[in-house]
Amino acid sequence: METVFRASAPVADAGPDLGPLLELPGTWVGNGFNLISRPDQHNNKPFFLELNTTRETLSFTPIGAPIPNRGSGQDDIFFLGVHYLQQISDGVTSGALHLEPGMWLNVPATTDPVAPASVVRMATIPHGDALLAQGSSLVVDGPPVIAPADSTPTFSTGPNVGQKLTGAYLDPFTTTPLPPGIPAGAIADPNVVLTEAISQQKIVETTVLIISTTTDVGGTTGGIQNIPFVVKNANATALSAIFWIEKVQNDDGSTFMQLQYTQQVTLDFLGINWPHIQVATLVKQ
């Protein structure tokens, strides 16, 4: 069956709306997988590969009124967005892993600068990081296409910059045992956790949000700012993520809303870029 793509921009002259963020308000709960290589100076090792099965609650609340941005080269723009709070714990120990408050915005197209409609995510993380990621959205008739996510580290400096690591540094990526319930192959490609979760589902429509801190919208990109300790010891340099908001149909014809995402943060230490990849499948409550 041919996949059909549809633009997700709001109707012209209808005033600001949530557009592709429309289904987000509410509470989403589910499970996922976390892969992170982190410095291990405490144990006199260059790094430690941490793998977690995760339990997550992601809550969204609409911002109560249109947000005005005043124009000098064009007329004012108005748009809507949502607050969110993400809470992630270890699926085995229930220990806290991640806390993130932030916002998503549905920004209209502009003429100064010349830029298409976009979605924007702003977040703060207690480790001492603040980020702005922006990008685009679309609607797909049917299920999402989830490409593999490569967890292989690459050199960030030196003559081999950009090339994948080989040798002993990769041993933990083949010898570290997976957490309970995580499918084989998830270390090399964490997105297999997502594809397995929906392999038996009938997804009739998917809204896709594609963002990164390096995407150019209207001549500018987002970015990440970190406290000095983070910059020196494990610098978070970039984030990219895809969110799939899915309408799933049950055997009896009823439907429910599901949210899947894959996210990669690049951590730079030891002259190496280490992909920190986080995935989850959440159901709207």
pLDDT digits (tens, 9 = 90+) for 34-46: 999 999 999 999 9
Give 270-283 pLDDT, tens digit per residue: 999 999 999 999 99
Task: Provide the pLDDT for residue 22.
Answer: 97
Q: Give how far Cα 69 sits from Cα of 66, 72, 80, 217, Å.
A: 10, 10, 11, 16
Task: Provide the pLDDT for residue 168.
Answer: 87
* Domain enclosing residue 204, as ranges: 4-284
Task: Count up the domains in the chain and report the number.
Answer: 1
Task: Provide the pLDDT for residue 15.
Answer: 73
Task: Provide the pLDDT for residue 14.
Answer: 60
Contact 25, 259 (CB under 8 A): no
Cα 181 to chain centroid distance, Å, stands at 22
* CATH code, domain carrying 75: 2.40.128.20
Task: Provide the pLDDT for residue 65.
Answer: 95
Give the closest residue to 104 by CA, choosing from 150, 63, 161, 164.
63
Q: What percent of the chain has pLDDT over 70?
A: 95
Residue in the structure block whose two tokens are 């996949």: 3
φ and ψ of 21, to 5 deg: -90, 5
Reported confidence tier of residue 222, pLDDT bands at 50, 70, 90: very high
Which class for 250: exposed (0-12), middle (13-18), buried (19 or more C-beta within 10 A)?
A: exposed
Q: CB-based contacts of 223: which residues, under 8 Å, 6+ apart?
A: 131, 132, 213
Instruction: Say if residue 247's pLDDT is above 80.
Output: yes
Instruction: Say if residue 206's pLDDT is above 70.
Output: yes
127 vs 169, more confident: 127
Give 155-176 pLDDT, tens digit per residue: 999 999 999 999 888 999 999 9
**Between β-strands 77-90 and 114-115, what pairing exists: parallel, antiparallel or unpaired?**
unpaired
Reported confidence tier of residue 62, pLDDT bands at 50, 70, 90: very high
Residue in the structure block whose two tokens are 């055997």: 251
Task: Provide the pLDDT for residue 4.
Answer: 42
HSE (CB half, 13 Å, CA atoms) of 196?
16
Computed over its alpha carbons, how large is the radius of gyration of the chain?
Answer: 20
Q: Is this model's pTM higher than 0.85 or not?
A: yes
E strand intervals along 191-230: 202-212, 223-226
Q: What percent of the chain has pLDDT over 90?
A: 93
Name the average pLDDT for the chain.
94
Residue 194 tokens, joined: 């997502």
Contact 204, 176 (CB under 8 A): no
